[in-house]
Amino acid sequence: MEPLKLIALDEEDLAVLSSLLQDAVIRVADMTYVPGQKRFAATLNRFEWEKAAKDGRDYRRRRTGLRFDRVFNAQLKNVKPRAGERVLSLLAVSFTPAEAPGGHITLTFSGDASIRLEVECIEAELRDLGPEWRTRSKPAHPGDEPGSKPIAGSEPGAGGAPGTGS
C-alpha cells in the first residue's frame, strides 16, 4: 500500500484523519509544541485500519507524522512531558468550533489523557514516514462484537517496532 499524505482543512477532513489515527500509539517524547512556529507535531505508530479491513488477519502498523499549524496554545490533561517513555493510545481527534474559523482540536487518549490545541483554524497534515510492519493483533474495543473481549497483545507495548510500543 502506498504511504498516505493527507491534509485536513475542515471538520470533515479532520474526521478522516481521526479514523485513520484511531488506536495509534505514541510515546510522550514523540510529541512537541513549538509556540514560536505555532505548531504541534508528533510521530506515532498508526494501525492500518484501511488494510485490516481488506486483508482480514494481516495486521500492520506504520510510522506516521502528524502536524497541526496555526496553534496558539496546547493544554495537557494527564500527560506529563517528563514521562517521555510513557506510551499513549490515541482514540480520536476532534474539533470544537469557537470564533470562526478558530476553535479547539482535541487529541483524546485512553486513560483519560488528552491534548487540547487552541487553533486559528484547522490546518493539519498526516504523512506516513516509512514502511509498514506486521503486528500480532488488531486493537479491540469493549463492545466491538457481542461477548467479545480485548485481544491479548492489542494494548500499547505488545509487539511491533522496537522501543515504540507497537
Residue 4 has pLDDT above 50, yes or no: yes
- pLDDT interval class at 16 (50, 70, 90): very high
Q: How far apart are the first and last CA of the chain?
A: 19
pLDDT digits 0-9 by tens, 37-77: 999 999 999 999 877 766 667 789 999 999 999 999 999 99
Residue 157 has pLDDT above 80, yes or no: no
Residue 85 has pLDDT above 70, yes or no: yes
Give me the helices (H) in 48-162, please.
Answer: 49-55
Instruction: Give the alpha-carbon dihedral of 140, 145, 151, 154, to 10 degrees.
Output: -10
- pLDDT interval class at 155 (50, 70, 90): very low
Q: How far apart are CA 102 and CA 22, in angstroms?
A: 24
- Burial group, residue 133, by CB count within 10 angstroms (0-12, 13-18, 19+): middle
pLDDT digits 0-9 by tens, 18-41: 999 999 999 999 999 999 999 999
Residue 154 has pLDDT above 70, yes or no: no
pLDDT digits 0-9 by tens, 94-140: 999 999 999 999 999 999 999 999 999 999 999 999 999 988 888 87
Q: What is the pLDDT of residue 62?
A: 95
Q: If you average pLDDT over residues 153-162, what whole number do you get?
A: 39
Q: In terms of Cα–Cα distance, which of 50, 78, 70, 83 is closest to 8?
A: 70
Q: How far apart are CA 160 and CA 165, in angstroms?
A: 7
- pLDDT interval class at 151 (50, 70, 90): very low
Collapsing DSSP states into helix, strand and coil, what is residue 6? strand
Instruction: Give the alpha-carbon dihedral of 49, 40, 121, 12, to 10 degrees.
Output: 0
Residue 160 has pLDDT above 90, yes or no: no
